[in-house]
Structure 1
Amino acid sequence: MVTCADHLATLAKQEMKFKSSRETKLTHDDMHNIDVSDLGAELKALSRYISAGSTPKAVLEYMCTNKMTNLFPNAFAALQILLTLPVTAASGERSFFKLKLIKTHLRSTMTHERLVSLATISIEHELAQTVDLQQEAVKIFATKKARKAPL
């Protein structure tokens, strides 16, 4: 039979494990810029001062203009870290996204050579815009489909 004390002990162990995992994520070479135990309380208290749907940048600006940086030092440090993280994944994944669209849309009727050609055109779209593809396509089609008329 599980008692209330056992339940509290397991909850305490789970909470300590969760807090220690959060603390390892906010620690670098034994340096602590953010106190994990105070961060949650600071964010809860800070939420009373800001409106719902505010961006992190707006919250940081609000804290600076109202001189709240010393009042919420952990939240201030966390917001600074959040706003300085580089977020540049979208431009690098553009070609892979286009390749996925091409594959899913034309998978059943496409050969590998055609897929590679379309992917190249999609990736090198700036170069493809400078080339007159219509004239080249007409020439290739005309040479392949030319029929000799019997005399």
Structure 2
Amino acid sequence: MFEENRLRNKLSVIYSDNNKHLPPHKLLDLIIKNNLQEMYSQFTKLCQLVLTISATTASSERSMSTLKRIKSFLRNTMTNERLTNLSSLAIEKNLLGIMAKDPTFVESIIDDFAKKKEKSIELEYKII
């Protein structure tokens, strides 16, 4: 994945200059703004990898907490497929919010529902 010698060389060049002692995201911005991606290709890949990998488990813990809330609320009332779909919506709520801003989003959901052959829902009657 990385050419170790080239990466070591570029890291020594970057960190020999005290002005370049910046966090990875700022260094990557600097490289991109100055169009130095080819010159620092190995370092660019390293920065992208570092910035992609989560430094904490907080986001995954929140996802698990969300899933736990959904499961405990709807434990016996739905199928696994529906539970999977609802948990995906809860976990990806930021993406859903971005998609919902598109004016055609709601229409496309309505069109998809209208194209479905089975539009009925199963209701369960219980005598209390």
Superposed pair shares fold, TM > 0.5: no
| TM-score (normalised: structure 2) | 0.41
The normalised TM-score by structure 1 is 0.35
